[in-house]
């Protein structure tokens, strides 16, 4: 009997709950925890209606470490699946250490007051988790997460050395709103507007946000899209753990409509993260904007189209250069039919469940703090095919991105 606690009740939390319920032989008991218990109740009701599995709900402030510790000691889960905000990662890790509970998240820690996407804060917990005999699995979402697994799988099975990596994240979905984000607006906008960094010849090179763009044609008739180079956290861990990489880049698709809205919002200060005084109150503009935008969890019923996310790797096998592309395509409407979610939440929530499953089954369980690519990719990749994220791998004759 294995008990887990899911902390966070947004779109991703809902998907994780549904997917855990589908594998009740592993996740025998699931507790849903959030600051807003009504959101947990709504997820629990959905899950029971779909699967017949009942989940208990509890209220907790994940920023309050003593409160979190008390809850963990009372509930005694084996693992916490953290799908709360990245600002809360360290607080939840601290609580897990004190309560003796394993830990998993889907995105690296970032400070509330500055847009920094770096692992060093969490890597610093390595000795603490190792000495406590506990495991912390970092970034078990899609990107990071599945993209780390794609890279590791390709490196293991197709190459002697990998030299170039392009991670390409295309969302071909349409939700019909003039402007909305597919996951937490605050995190999304901070990520998109941050300076770009890519790996080149042994170091990270910094460029202006969204200053490099290209056209990319997805396989399987998904379409052709404008993609923009940006920084994403898996570049930091992948370049560390695959030191033969000479270049590594992350690309994401954006419509011109999205970029126009973002530019205007930025120009008038609505994407700022510094507090401003208004009518005697301190307000962070981007947090106020988040309240005005559609809730990403509400986009499922109206989003149509597909995502296409994958990794193109160039390297050497038996002395010859080759190029391999591994990708997943996910349909927004199929996701909604299954778990009442759009594909962005689905593609993050499914790998979170699979990562937890890997730990609970003992396939990945070892003390310390680990990034996904440090672990055996094969059982994870097998489970992606089983649990809703089937992938394909093809060898390419050539690969180049046509500049816009």
The string of DSSP letters for 141-180 reads BTTTBHHHHHHHHHHHHH-SEEEEEEEEEEE--B---SS-
Which pLDDT belongs to residue 1?
Answer: 66
Which pLDDT belongs to residue 37?
Answer: 97
Give the pLDDT confidence of 219-274 residue by residue, as tens digits: 999 999 999 999 999 999 999 999 999 999 999 998 888 888 988 988 999 988 88
CA 235 to chain centre: 13
Report the SS3 class of residue 69.
helix
CA 327 to chain centre: 16
Which pLDDT belongs to residue 268?
Answer: 92
Structure tokens at 225: 């899209």
Q: How many whole angstroms separate alpha carbon 118 and alpha carbon 109? A: 7
Residue-by-residue DSSP string for 258-272? HHHHHHHHHHTTTT-
Q: Does pTM surpass 0.75? A: yes
Which pLDDT belongs to residue 402?
Answer: 75
Residue from 2, 271, 322 nearest 161 by CA: 322
Residues of the chain with pLDDT under 50: none
Which pLDDT belongs to residue 2?
Answer: 93
């Amino acid at each position: 009997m294995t008990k887990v606690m899911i902390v966070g009740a947004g779109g991703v939390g809902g998907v994780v709950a549904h997917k855990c319920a589908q594998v009740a032989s592993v996740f025998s008991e699931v507790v849903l925890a959030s600051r807003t218990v009504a959101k947990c109740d709504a997820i629990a009701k959905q899950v029971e209606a779909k699967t017949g599995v009942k989940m208990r709900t509890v209220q907790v402030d994940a920023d309050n470490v003593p409160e979190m510790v008390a809850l963990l000691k009372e509930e005694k889960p084996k693992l916490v699946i953290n799908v709360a905000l990245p600002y809360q990662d360290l607080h939840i890790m601290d609580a897990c250490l004190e309560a003796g509970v394993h830990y998993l998240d889907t995105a690296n820690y970032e400070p509330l007051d500055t847009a920094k996407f770096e692992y060093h804060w969490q890597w610093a917990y390595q000795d603490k988790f190792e000495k406590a005999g506990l495991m912390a699995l970092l970034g078990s979402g899609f990107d990071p997460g599945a993209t780390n697994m794609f890279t590791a799988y390709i490196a293991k099975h197709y190459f002697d050395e990998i030299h170039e990596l392009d991670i390409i994240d295309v969302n071909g979905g349409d939700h019909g709103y003039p402007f909305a984000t597919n996951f937490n607006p605050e995190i999304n906008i901070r990520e998109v507007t941050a300076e770009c960094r890519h790996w080149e010849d042994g170091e990270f090179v910094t460029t202006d946000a969204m200053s490099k763009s290209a056209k990319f044609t997805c396989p399987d008739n998904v379409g052709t899209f404008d993609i923009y180079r940006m920084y994403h956290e898996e570049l930091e861990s992948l370049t560390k753990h695959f030191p033969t990489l000479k270049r590594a880049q992350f690309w994401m698709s954006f419509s011109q409509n999205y970029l126009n809205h973002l530019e205007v919002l930025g120009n008038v200060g609505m994407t700022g993260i510094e507090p401003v005084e208004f009518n005697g109150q301190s307000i962070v503009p981007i947090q106020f904007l988040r309240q005005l935008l559609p809730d990403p969890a509400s986009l499922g019923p109206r989003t149509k189209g597909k995502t296409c996310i994958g990794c193109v790797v160039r390297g050497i096998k038996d002395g010859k250069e080759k190029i391999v592309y591994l990708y997943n395509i996910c349909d927004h409407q199929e996701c909604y039919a299954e778990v009442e979610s759009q594909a962005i939440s689905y593609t993050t929530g499914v790998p979170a469940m699979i990562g937890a499953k890997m730990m609970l089954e003992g396939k990945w369980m070892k003390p310390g703090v680990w990034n996904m690519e440090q672990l055996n990719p094969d059982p994870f990749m097998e489970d992606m095919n089983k649990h809703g994220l089937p992938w394909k791998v093809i060898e390419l004759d050539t690969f180049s991105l046509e500049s816009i």
